[in-house]
Amino acid sequence: MSTRPARPVRLGPRSVTALALVSLIGLFAFCWPLFADAGSAVTSHAGDAPWLFAALLPLLVAVVVATIADCGMDAKAVAMLGVLAAVGAALRPLGAGTAGLEPMFFLMVLSGRVLGPGFGFVLGAVTMFASALLTGGVGPWMPFQMLSMGWFTMGAGLLPGPSTLRGRGELLMLSAYGFVAAFAYGTIMNLQGWVLLQGLSSGISFQPGAPLQENLVRFLAYVTATSLGWDLGRAVLTVVLTLTIGRTLLKALRRATRRANFEAQVTFEGPGRPSAGEAPHRTYVTYDSE
């Protein structure tokens, strides 16, 4: 039996289009208050959530359908996403509210690496949705959390060397990504809440209609004063878990992916049909030996 490295699910043209569309909508939802004039009712930014959620759900389905159409996968791929989302949702309450210690981020990094950017994006968003239902964290922030976690997980799937880089080098790369991306997640979520807060000191509060660079300076001061320690706890835990048990979990995820026959390669041995008394030619499906 021949072997080949297990690869993440590839992005096809339809998958790229769907991901680009949902990301553009998400970026607009996060950033439009920064470009609004002074007379705009930016406090209605909280009212974006129902519309964003309504747009997000069909786009998530579109990403899944486009990925399946591009790569020819079956329902087992979607079933794996469901299992991983359930595990991630169960992990979130273990650390939420305790110095930013959230073990679900570690699972999202490794899952995105194995499943690829398209399914990684959907996994991150669905996991955050399920965990919000589980913890009672449903609110106007939820669709923004879904987008942020989707980008977080998708980024892990876009890292280089998915089919060749293995061992300690891969773990170090995933740890570095998890550390940086944990801060990025916290920063973009702060942007969503910062424009709604009132009564802050003028040095860190959002000023509608102010020049973009001035508001960005205030935002940086706000992040430093309010959430830097929380994001650090999330980043450090992600690194520790990746370096300690990441190798074992990566092997388990890749083994499950092989058994689900994602993009299985079929090869045939021997030309033509067998003659009388000759054993039939066999068909082999190639898998990774890891």
- Quick check: pTM over 0.85? no
pLDDT in tens, the chain (290 residues): 444 555 566 667 777 888 888 888 888 878 877 776 666 655 555 555 566 667 777 777 777 677 666 665 556 777 888 888 889 888 887 765 555 678 889 999 999 998 888 888 888 888 988 888 877 667 777 888 888 999 999 999 999 887 788 888 999 999 999 999 999 998 998 888 787 765 556 678 887 777 888 888 888 888 888 888 888 988 999 999 999 999 999 999 888 877 765 554 444 444 555 555 555 555 444 444 44
- Rounded to 10 degrees, the C-alpha dihedral 173/174/176/179 comes to 180
Rounded Cα distance between 6 and 290, Å, is 8
CA distance 242 to 108: 11
| Burial class for 17, CB neighbours closer than 10 Å (0-12, 13-18, 19+) | middle
- pLDDT given at position 81: 81
Confirm if 52 and 144 have CB atoms less than 8 A apart. yes
pLDDT given at position 162: 75
Q: What is the model's pLDDT at position 146?
A: 87
In this prediction, residue 42 carries a pLDDT of 57
- Cα 145 to Cα 30: distance, rounded to the nearest angstrom: 11
pLDDT for the residue 52: 67
What confidence score (pLDDT) does residue 175 get?
96
* Two tokens, residue 22: 């949902």
Integer Cα distance of 264 and 262 in angstroms? 5
